[in-house]
Amino acid sequence: MIVEEWSETMRKIILFLILGAVFGYLILEYMAQGQVQQQKRPVRSASEAKVKVGATVGATHGQWQGTDEAVAMSNDDLTLINGIGPTFAKALNALGIHTFSQLAGQSAADLASRMTTRITAERIRRDRWIEQARELARSR
């Protein structure tokens, strides 16, 4: 009797372990697919970015100097870089990084250590933030 109860309990434990492993695998696979799709998003050129944010204004920089519009026009849309969403863009802006050129001059390790959001240098390297920033800065 005790042996039967023990073996039934062991079967249940093994079943729950197998189900947990299967569900864990499925969840990790789903998360990995989301990252792959995000990495496949094409990098847009800086000229497309200007059209997107409406930066094609006929005024010269001197006419806008000292206004919020001038600041907005001098900032690049960092979300054009694959892997950088609005939250990471705000965190980069808080560090004083507003343009592709500024981001291109950073190192992944230093950047990850200074950012207030949770990100690793490995992810910055894997998503190619710095390389994409260089490409976008050159295309401007």
Mean pLDDT to the nearest integer, 7-13: 89
* Domain span including residue 106: 44-139
Q: Same domain, yes or no, for 61 and 125?
A: yes
pLDDT for res 67: 46
Q: Are residues 33 and 69 in the same domain?
A: no
Check whether residue 51 and residue 119 sit in a common domain: yes
Q: Are residues 53 and 36 in the same domain?
A: no
Overall number of domains in the chain:
2
Predicted pLDDT at 41: 58
What is the per-residue pLDDT across 50-67, written as a single tens digit (0 to 9) for each? 444 444 444 444 444 444
Q: What is the residue-wise DSSP string for the chain? A: -HHHHHHHHHHHHHHHHHHHHHHHHHHHHHHHHHHHHHHTSPPPPHHHHHHHHT---SS-HHHHTTSHHHHHHHS--GGGSTT--HHHHHHHHHTT--SHHHHHTS-HHHHHHH-SS---HHHHHHHTHHHHHHHHHHH-
pLDDT of 65: 45
